[in-house]
Every structure is written in structure tokens, then in C-alpha cells.
Amino acid sequence: MALVVAKFGGSSVATAERIKNVASRLVARHRAGDQVVAVVSAMGDNTDYLVDLARSINTNPPKREMDMLLSTGEQVSVAVLAMAVEALGVPAISHTGAQVGIYTDDTHTAAKIDHISAEHIRDDLSEGRIVIVAGFQGINSRGEITTLGRGGSDTTAVALAAAIQADFCEIYSDVDGVYTADPRICPRAHRIDKLSYEEMLELSSNGAGVLQLRAVEFARKYGVVIHALSSFVTDSPGTFVMKAEDIMTNDSMEGPVISGVAHDLSEAKITLRHVPDIRGVAAMLFERMAELNVNVDMIIQDISHEGLTDISFTAPLNDVEKLTPACKELSETIKADGVEINTHIAKVSLVGAGMKSYPGVSAKMFRVLADNGVNISMISTSPIRISIIIDADQCELAVRALHTAFGLDDEDSSGSVKVVR
Amino acid sequence: MALVVAKFGGSSVATAERIKNVASRLVARHRAGDQVVAVVSAMGDNTDYLVDLARSINTNPPKREMDMLLSTGEQVSVAVLAMAVEALGVPAISHTGAQVGIYTDDTHTAAKIDHISAEHIRDDLSEGRIVIVAGFQGINSRGEITTLGRGGSDTTAVALAAAIQADFCEIYSDVDGVYTADPRICPRAHRIDKLSYEEMLELSSNGAGVLQLRAVEFARKYGVVIHALSSFVTDSPGTFVMKAEDIMTNDSMEGPVISGVAHDLSEAKITLRHVPDIRGVAAMLFERMAELNVNVDMIIQDISHEGLTDISFTAPLNDVEKLTPACKELSETIKADGVEINTHIAKVSLVGAGMKSYPGVSAKMFRVLADNGVNISMISTSPIRISIIIDADQCELAVRALHTAFGLDDEDSSGSVKVVR
């Protein structure tokens, strides 16, 4: 008998039929003797509908009221999923974030979980119920509804799993696990059986969207084993995300050098040309970006030539509009040679815990790309990741070439992957 | 400066535009120096959508989960109305029933209000906010969401008005007050300025749907003055519902004999023919109806002829399906002559506190109907009401004739009433 938290995203509960499918899975699990807590997101595009409604009424809606509004989406999901489970003859009970005791700070629309009081859930489970909890939402110390922001439902699931000491936290989505690359652009990509938290964090933050970064961080902190599965494909073993030590112990002493190739087309590259090399210019620039809440990713500053240097950085495409005037203003203030913005870039990342102990991974990466005619415009590394910025048009070519060169190609299949969209 | 609770029904908040209109009204009130608490229903047909969703998933959904589901409708409304008020530059705050402290019993989908802890509202008002509260919903002692059932939002508004000792409880709908008859079938009907709780109760329970019976009962119990107004017509004084004594004191010593003519096409007439006149037959019949939760209205038993009698009663058309087999079974058991069901009837009621002291009202009523060729098949009376059952086809004729005969016709207008549908 296992104690399991299972999280289902918006596409898994988008229609009445899909909700019934989720209910069947939960009931099968329950009948097999497991104790099951489900965490669900809002149905399909319900959240988009509510956001549009809000903006049609107030172009800058108060965040407290946005939380009041958006939290209804998950409340609908939990109620109808409980009804679907009961229709199959198993007792169920739904809870909002507030009811289950997911206490957060006061940051409306992007609240952080402070603590969880899990007694309700334990009581319900001991009564033989399937417990269904609204993801994405909590309550602050004043009793106001908060939401956790992007990736909130995954975080709810992992946090609940930690609070009730669940054996696993299953995250169901429309893909049956984590892949060595995005199967849509790399047909020879294959599902990874096991990954360390660190590798998953690098993959998540570099464009592999199956698991939310924040939830993986939470899982690492509390040692929650994540099991990524598909809502639609039932015969795939999925991907486990766990401590690196546990992976090493269970399998070969030497893991693969590279776990996967991630790519990300959601960033832009911003360059300030011929910046006078005076003290504090970079600080001024990135302080200004921080004030604007721009999530700066890679940063490169060239070596100074004759007192002039170029500063480049990448940031989300969505932030280009708000950062552009600030960069132009700064360029004039410091008498630089203007701002160049390239919105047609790709970030491609090699990720693998194994690369720590293998020298020459970056050299091999650059050689492969050079042989394929791919120009690199920025490079950034961590102990288990190498990321490069290239032209967006060369993204597919680069991912496939690296995937093959680092021995990731699936020899068994020729591109038949279990993805339902 | 007045302290006002203002309730807006689903049609008043059905679209973003209408929500903005409601916000403008609240803000105008606030700027004029009043303290304003708004109570709102779910937007337009949102509740119907949710009910359909639930039934597509579970034909008999658990009531606890129905409350969890349906309560989201009002939560959406309060959030967006708060956004709309803030867009006009006035601070607003929304609350669910749970947050504002509307405590109910455990009867999911038809909960009764137990008590209200109004501190939150008083604090918010003292901070200069417009307070917006979700109607129709509350919380039970276990922290579960409950709904108040039919007419719940009106009841929330009146109960809140009682709890915070508001000067008035304004109920906004698509009609600008209570009319002497339904203007759709009686063009000479006119708006009533003031009505006693008792008269309003008789009108509500006899087909005049502007105010919910339950809310009027609540208002009478706690002495809350109700002001019925239109959301769409701004220049009508509406109708006040208050204590009979206050009406008498303020106006002429002698009120009008008749306040209005109500009609109701939502009932059926059921007759058990030639029932043997043995003790306890009526008790058996109506105990069975109570078990089936059938809301029996009028009851008539003829004088016995040769040990046989007819028993007739009226009940909602919606209940005919469930009461028919029970009646047939009973008819066989007691060896009656079968069951007749007439679904094509109208109930027409004369209502007026003044009729208590005027003899001959019923005689005049029957004379008017006889002169107009209307056959009466049942009669029922209270101290301030006379109701008759007639053929549905004669309903309009009867209402108009009585309206004229009892001096209710509006001499100023010829049928131009302020109704927006």
C-alpha cells in the first residue's frame, strides 16, 4: 500500500470525459489499496477566460481580486472530479487550498507556501476517501485567497506530498515523462527513466516544460520523489526525478554523461554596443532590469577594447517591450553606441550530471556545432549544463546533431514517441 | 449618511458592461457619503452552466460537491465587481460567504443561516471601502462551503442588513418595484410605493416574483426595510417593504383595501374522486406528500355525500411526476374512484392588508368573476388574501377584471411601465 499524491494539469481535466478518465485512474489506484490524494488545475482554458474577463473590466485589476477570481477555476475542477469519483462508487471529498490549510505569504498572484496543516487530509484518507485538492491556491494569515502563480499546481502537489510524507508525487501531463530532447523537433528523442533533481532543474529552466522549475526545487528541498506520467498513455513507465545518490546506487555506478538536450525559443538577446568601460555600468543596467522585474538569464561582457566593451544579455521575449526604453535611456546616459535587440534566437543546452567528471564535453559540443555550420553567439555553463545562444533557424539542426553526437538517439524506435497533444 | 446593503441579481451582473454599470451606481452612492455593502449573485446563466456540467459527470452529484461547485459563480461576480469599482478609483474588497462569516447549518444546497459575524464588514467600511459579498453561500461549522438554495442571494442581503443594522436593504432586479399585477398581462398595473411585510409575503407566495419569500420572512423577523429597485431604470422610486404600522403612520390612516392581484401558473390541481369518508384518509394522503417533499398549497375536501367525498389539492407542476404514482397507489388502497390531474390551471389572488376590515371583498370578487364568465374551482383565504383556482385560459381576463374592479388601474398611464427584460 502506497500513499500517493497525483497531480493532473488543465489539459487532463479539460472536458467532462477527461475528468471521468482521471476519476477512473484514481479509483483503480484506490481499489488496488493505495491511499490517493489528487491535486488538480483549472479545466482547460478556464483560467484564460477569467483573465480576459478581468481585463475587460479593469486593465490593471487588483491582485487580491485576481486571486479571488482565478481560484474559482480549480474549485470547479475539484468539485466535479469528486463528483466523478463518487459516480464510480468510491467516497471522495474536495478541498480548496484554504480548506486543506495551505498557508502562504501575502504576495497575491505569486504567493509562496509558508506551511501546510495536513490533518484534514489524513482524517479524510483514514475514512477511506479519495481526497481532491485545488492546486495553485492557498490562504494568507488574514484569510484571504492567494494563488501561487506559474507552476503553482505542481508546487501544491509536491508540497502536499512533503507534508503528508507521500511515497511519490505523480505529475500527470500530456507527455509520458521527461525526454532527452523535445520529440517534436528531435524524432529520435527517448524517454528518460530516472533523473536527478539537479538535472531536472537544468532541463526545466532551459526549455523542457514537463515539470515546473519551482516544483522541482521544492521536491529537492524536501526529498520528494517525483514521477512524471502521461494522463493519456497508460502503459509508459514515465520518468522518476530523485536524489542523484539514489540513482547511482540503484543503477550503474557511472551514469550517462549527458541526460538530455533542451532548447528554448522564448528569449531575446539584448546588446549594448561600445559601452565606455567605466565602473558600475553593468550594475546600473541590471539594477534597472531588476526594478522592472525582468528575469535576466545569460549575461556576457566582452573584454574591453580601447576602453569600450559590449554587454549582452538574454531575457524573456515577453519582457522586451518593457526593457527596451530603459536600455535606450541608459545607453544615452552612459554614451554607449545604442541598443541591439535580437528576438530570433534559440538557447540550446546540454544537461547531464555526468559531465562534471568528463572533461571535453564543451569542446565536443562546439566541434559538433561548427561541423554543422552553427554559429554560437553566447555561451554559459554550470557544473552540469552548457548552454549556447544561436540563431533560431538553426535550433532544430543543433538539437538533433547534439542528440546524435552524445549518444542519446533511441536505436529501438525511429521517432514513434508517446506524446498526445 | 446611510448604511446600505444593495443586492444585485444575476441579470444585473450578466455581462462586463452590466458589472461596470453596477459599479458606477455603487461608486455614486459611496461618493454621496453612504457606506455601501453590495451582495451579488452569479453572472447571468453561469449557475445553469455549472449545473449542466455537474450532471454530465454524475446524474446524482453529492450535495456537498454541488455547493463547492456552485459557490464559484458568486465568487467570480464579487471579484470582478470589486475590480470594476477599483477601476473607478474607489477602494473595494470582495468576500466569499465563508470569509465574511455567514455561518449556516449543514444542509448542503439548502442551508439555513445560523449567525453572521459582521466584524470584517465593519472594519472594511471604516477603512472607506465598498464591500462586496458573495450572495447565496455560507460556511458550516466544519468549514465546508454551503449554499442557501433558491432565493439565497436575497436572503444573504437581508441577513447582512440585519447583522450590520443597515438603514435599508436594496434589492435590485430587472423590474423597478412591486406592481399591483404582472404588467405583462395587465397593462394598467402600477408600481406600489409601500407594502407591509405581510402583503409582500402573500404576493410573493402567490406568484409575484420580484422578492423571494424567504428574504421577506427574514426581513419581517428582523425589521429590515427592503427597497425593491430596478438595475436598469434609475429614475423610479421603487417599492418599500416595511412594517404595516410604519406605513399607516406615515400615510393616510386608511390604506387601500386591495394592494395587488397576483397570479400563478406554476401549479397543478390533483383530485381524488369518491373517497370513502373514513377517518384518517386526508392524513394518509398529505403525510405521503410530505414524505415526497411535495409543497402542497391549497386543499379542499367536499362535504360527504353517501359516505363518499372528493379531496382536491394544488401542488407545483414540477412535482406532478413524483406525486402521481403515490396518489394512484393510495386511491387503490382506500378504494377511491381514481385520480384526476389538471395541469392547466391558474391561481389568482387578491392581496391587501385593508381587506381585514372591509367585509364583502370576497363577495365582490366572486361577482366580478361570475360577470366575466370565469368559473371558480377552488377557493382559499387568509386574513389579507383571497385565492381562487380557475382555468389557465381565463387567467388574464380574471386578473384584468379584478384589477379594474378593485380600483387598481393606473389612470395616468395606459400601460407604459418601467420593466426591462
Q: How many Cα atoms sit within 13 Å of B148 on the Cβ side?
A: 27
Confidence of residue A257 (pLDDT cuts 50, 70, 90): confident
CB contact under 8 A, B68 and A59: no
B54 contacts in chain A (CB < 8 Å): 79-80, 83
pLDDT at A42: 95
- Provide the residue range defining the domain that includes A125: 3-250
CATH number of the domain bearing residue B233: 3.40.1160.10
- Taking 90 as the threshold, does the pLDDT of residue A80 lie above it? yes
Interface test with B, best of A18, A22, A56, A57 (most B CBs within 10 A): A57
Q: Concatenated DSSP letters for B83-110?
A: HHHHHTT--EEEE-HHHHTEEE-S-TTS
Contact: B57, A16; criterion CB under 8 Å: yes
Q: How much is the ipTM here?
A: 0.81
Residue A252: is its pLDDT beyond 70?
no
Asked whether the predicted pLDDT for residue B416 surpasses 60, the reply is: no
**A–B: how many Cβ contacts below 8 A?**
107
Task: Give the closest-approach CA distance of B241 to chain A in angstroms.
Answer: 34
Q: What is the DSSP letter of B257?
A: S
Predicted confidence band of residue A76 (pLDDT cuts 50, 70, 90): very high
Out of B16, B72, B99, name the one closest to residue A75 (CB).
Answer: B72
| Residue in chain B lying closest to A132 (CA) | B65
Q: What is the predicted pLDDT for the residue at B412?
A: 57
In order of A95, A289, B78, the CA distances from B97 in angstroms are 16, 42, 11
Going by pLDDT thresholds of 50, 70 and 90, the confidence category of residue B254 is low
pLDDT at A41: 95
- Spatial separation of the C-alpha atoms in residues B258 and B256, rounded to whole Å: 6
Describe chain B by its helix, strand, coil percentages, rounded to 5: 40, 25, 35
- Residue B369 in domain: no
| A228-242, A300-314, A345-359, B239-253, range with greatest mean pLDDT | A228-242
Q: In A, which residues are within 8 Å of B57 by CB distance? A: 16, 19-20, 80, 83-84, 87
Residue A248 pLDDT grade (very low, low, confident, very high; cuts 50, 70, 90): low
Tell whether A69 is within 8 A of chain B (Cβ). Answer: yes
B223 vs B197: CA distance, rounded Å? 9
CA distance B132 to chain A (A): 11
Instruction: Please provide the average confidence, as pLDDT, over all residues in chain B.
Output: 90
Task: Check CB contact under 8 Å for A79 and B58.
Answer: no
| Mean pLDDT, residues A252-262 taken together | 73
Chain B contact present for A76, CB below 8 A: yes
Distance from CA of residue A252 to its chain's centroid?
Answer: 28
For the ranges A118-132, A298-312, B232-246, B329-343, the lowest mean pLDDT is seen at A298-312
| Per-residue b or e along B357-371, where b marks 16 or more CB atoms closer than 10 Å to that residue's CB | eeeebeebbeebbee
Distance from CA of B225 to the nearest CA of A (A): 31
User: In whole angstroms, how far apart are CA B370 and each of B261, B367, B390?
Assistant: 17, 5, 12
Chain A residues near residue B83 by CB distance under 8 angstroms:
54, 57-58, 61-62, 65, 69
- Please name the helix (run of DSSP H) or strand (run of DSSP E) that holds residue B53, with its range, or none: helix B46-57
The closest alpha carbon to B107, from B162, B67, B49, B153, belongs to B67
Query: Rounded to whole angstroms, how far apart are CA atoms A261 and A349?
Result: 6
* Closest CA in chain A for residue B63: A83
Q: Cβ–Cβ contacts within 10 Å for residue A30, how many?
A: 20
A9 domain-assigned = yes
Question: Chain A contact for B109, CB < 8 A?
Answer: no
Q: Does residue A123 surpass a pLDDT of 60?
A: yes
pLDDT tens per residue across span A282-311: 888 998 998 888 888 888 887 777 778 888
A419 pLDDT band, cuts 50/70/90, is very low
pLDDT, residue B302, reads 74
Which pLDDT band holds residue A223 (cuts at 50, 70, 90)?
Answer: very high
CB-closest option in A19, A83, A99 to B65: A83
pLDDT category at B224 given cuts 50, 70, 90 is very high
Crossing angle between the packed helical segments A152-163 and A213-222, to the nearest 10 degrees: 10
- State how far the Cα of A123 lies from the Cα of B312, in Å rounded to an integer: 52
Condensed to tens digits (0 to 9), the pLDDT of residues B26-55 reads: 999 999 999 999 999 999 989 999 999 999
Q: Is residue A34 part of a domain?
A: yes
Question: Which residues from chain B sit within 8 angstroms of residue A61, using beta carbons?
Answer: 83, 86
What is the model's pLDDT at position A300?
84
Paired strand residues for A36: A4
Of A57, A84, A94, the CB nearest to B16: A57
What band does A418 get if pLDDT is binned at 50, 70 and 90? very low
Cα(A263)–Cα(A395) distance, integer angstroms: 8
Name the residue with higher pLDDT: B411 or B158: B158
Rounded to whole angstroms, the maximal C-alpha distance in chain B is 78
pLDDT at position B283: 85
Q: How far apart are CA A22 and CA A232, in angstroms?
A: 9
In a domain, A378, yes or no: no
Stronger pLDDT, A352 or A415, i.e. the higher one: A352
Backbone angles phi, psi at A192, to 5 degrees: -95, 130
Q: For A12-64, what is each residue's pLDDT tens digit?
A: 999 999 999 999 999 999 999 999 999 999 999 899 999 999 999 999 999 99
**Has residue B283 been placed in a domain?**
no
A87 vs B: CB within 8 A: yes
Highest mean pLDDT, choosing among A149-158, B69-78, B313-322: B69-78
Band of residue B413 on the pLDDT scale cut at 50, 70, 90: very low
Best CA proximity match to A158, nearest among A220, A230, A215: A215
**How many angstroms separate the CA of residue B393 from the nearest CA in chain A?**
43
Interface membership of B85 toward A (CB under 8 Å): no
**pLDDT tens for each residue of A358-409:** 778 888 999 999 999 999 988 888 888 999 999 999 999 999 999 999 999 9
Residues of A in contact with B78 (CB under 8 A): 68
Contact B79 A69 (CB under 8 A): yes
**What are the tens digits of pLDDT across the range B359-373?**
788 889 999 999 999
**B131 part of a folded domain:** yes
Count of domains in chain B? 1
Mutate which: B83, B131, B132, vs A, most A CBs within 10 A: B83
Q: Which chain B positions have a beta carbon within 8 Å of A78's beta carbon?
A: 68
pLDDT at A414 over 50: no
Q: What is the mean pLDDT of chain A?
A: 90
A-chain residues near B96 (CB < 8 A): 68, 145
Q: Is the pLDDT of residue B135 over 90?
A: yes
User: Are the Cβ atoms of B62 and A86 closer than 8 angstroms?
Assistant: yes
B342 in any annotated domain: no
Q: Are B228 and B8 in contact (CB under 8 A)?
A: no
- Would the pTM of this model clear 0.90, i.e. be above it? no
A33 domain residue, yes or no: yes
Interface test mutation site (partner B, options A27, A59, A64, A83, max chain B beta carbons within 10 A)? A83
